[in-house]
Amino acid sequence: MSKKPKVVILGTGGTIAGAGSKASNVTGYRPSVIGVDALVAAVPQLKEVAELEAQQLFQVASYLLETSHWLQLARAATDALARSDVSGVVITHGTDTLEETAYFLHLAVRSEKPVVVTGAMRPATALSADGPMNLYNAVSLAASPDAAGKGVLVALNDRIACARDVTKTHTSGLETFRSTEYGNLGQMENGAPRFYRTPLRRHTAFAEFVVAGLEELPRVEIVMGYVGATGAPVAAALANGASGIVYAGTGAGNFTAAAREALIEDVRAAIGSALPRSGDP
Ligand code: SIN
């Protein structure tokens, strides 16, 4: 009998590890309470596709994650994938910020081996819980040579998405992860991936970012543009020591006069005179 590929499963919490008081509860449950070993034990079919090694990296709802968790995750995934006996990594994760973690790893993990992030919309105790099939598909995908070189993949609800493109579009629906602009990369069928596209932008082993050795990431605040936006959020971000601000402007990155003033004058005051004055050509 041929040896099965080895897949390392890194458990981080979320609804996939959640428990409710009744099987009919799909909201109002406690996320991040069931250990990754129990999630694996609940799907005996996993043993048919891969040799498994499960590690509880942390047990945190994804809305409580810090960027320090990302560094820990990038390190753990990179270390696991550097092992010659490991074919791929699966990460079980809360869905609230799954797309953010997946995209960070897409740019930070230094390996061409498959990395698959999955989660669930229903807790493990729910009728028709989606976690077990999502985990089965994620492990099957991570074990597949077809998934290599495609960067970090997001696998939920039988779909395979690129971490760069995917976003959560519905609070509770099962078909919530969508890649609205470019579409999914493929789908899972009976535990086998069927790919239709491949990502062409730089990622993982070929990304320009190196996070190895970093103890922390700089704090960058996101400030939204909207009708009547004042400069107050920019000033507050600077007052709280932000190292940078991403201004999510309207349209093609436009802003109100007050926001523009704050982005130029307040930022100039915070970093010295390196920026042109707002009246400069
Ligand atoms: C979380 O993001 O940790 C909770 C919600 C979920 O996993 O769906």
DSSP string, 43-80: -TTHHHH-EEEEEE-----GGG--HHHHHHHHHHHHHH
Report the candidate in 63, 74, 72 with the shortest Cα–Cα distance to residue 103. Answer: 74
If 0-12 CB within 10 Å is exposed, 13-18 middle and 19+ buried, where does residue 270 land?
middle
**Helices H / strands E in the chain, number of each:** 8, 12
Closest atom, ligand 1, to C-alpha of 61:
3
Q: Which residues line ligand 1 (CB under 6 A)?
A: 13-15, 31, 61-63, 94-96, 119, 121
Percent of residues in the chain assigned helix, strand, coil, to nearest 5 = 30, 20, 50
Check: CB of residue 52 under 8 Å from CB of residue 46. yes
How far does residue 254's CA lie from ligand 1's centre (Å)? 33
**Counting atoms of ligand 1 from 1, which one is nearest the CA of 97?**
2
Residue 85 CA to residue 172 CA, distance in Å, equals 38
The confidence score (pLDDT) of residue 270 equals 86
Q: Note down pLDDT in tens along the chain; length 281 residues.
A: 679 999 999 999 999 999 999 999 889 999 999 999 999 999 999 999 999 999 999 999 999 999 999 999 999 999 999 999 999 999 999 999 999 999 999 999 999 999 999 999 999 999 999 999 999 999 999 999 999 999 999 999 999 999 999 999 999 999 999 999 999 999 999 999 999 999 999 999 999 999 999 999 999 999 999 999 999 999 999 999 999 999 999 999 999 999 999 999 988 888 875 555 555 54
Is-contact 9 134, C-beta < 8 A? no
CA of 31 to the centre of ligand 1 (A): 7
* pLDDT for residue 267: 87
Per residue, the 3-state secondary structure of 141-194, as one string, reads: HHCCHHHCCCCEEEEECCEEEECCCCEECCCCCCCCEECCCCCCCEEEECCEEE
Question: Residues for the chain: how many in total?
Answer: 281
Q: Which of 25, 62, 134 to mutate to test the pocket of ligand 1 (most atoms within 8 A of CB)?
A: 62
Say which residues have a Cβ less than 8 Å from residue 162's Cβ, sequence separation at least 6: 106, 150, 151, 152, 153, 154, 179, 182, 185, 199
Q: Which of 15, 92, 101, 118 is catalytic?
A: 15
By the 8 A CB rule, do 246 and 222 touch? yes
Which residue's alpha carbon is nearest to atom 7 within ligand 1?
Answer: 94
Q: Helices 98-108 & 67-82, crossing angle to 10 degrees? A: 50
pLDDT of 274 = 55
Using the atom order of ligand 1, give the atom closest to the CA of residue 13.
Answer: 3
C-alpha 64 – ligand 1 centre gap (Å): 10
Distance 263 CA to ligand 1 centre (A): 34
| Dist CA 163 CA 269 (whole Å) | 37
Instruction: Please tell me the predicted confidence (pLDDT) of residue 74.
Output: 97
CA 58 to ligand 1 center in whole angstroms? 14
Can you list the pairs that 264-271 forms with residues at least 24 positions away whose Cβ atoms lie under 8 Å?
266/231, 266/234, 266/235, 266/238, 267/234, 267/238, 270/238
- Which residue minimizes the CA distance to atom 1 of ligand 1? 94
Q: Catalytic: 97? A: no
131: CA distance to ligand 1 center in Å?
12
Letter string b/e over residues 227-245, b meaning 16 or more CB atoms within 10 A of that residue's CB: eebebebbbebbeeebeeb
* CA–CA dist 7, 90 (Å, integer): 7
For residues 43 and 136, is the Cβ–Cβ distance under 8 A?
A: yes
Structure tokens at 153: 């993949």
Q: Which residues pair with 246 in a beta bridge?
A: 222
Q: Which residues, at least 6 apart from 224, have a Cβ–Cβ distance to it below 8 Å?
A: 233, 248
Q: What pLDDT, on the 0 to 100 scale, is given for residue 273?
A: 57
The pLDDT of residue 272 is: 76
Instruction: Locate the ligand 1 atom nearest the alpha carbon of residue 96 and give its number.
Output: 2
What is the pairing mode between strands 159-162 and 186-189? antiparallel
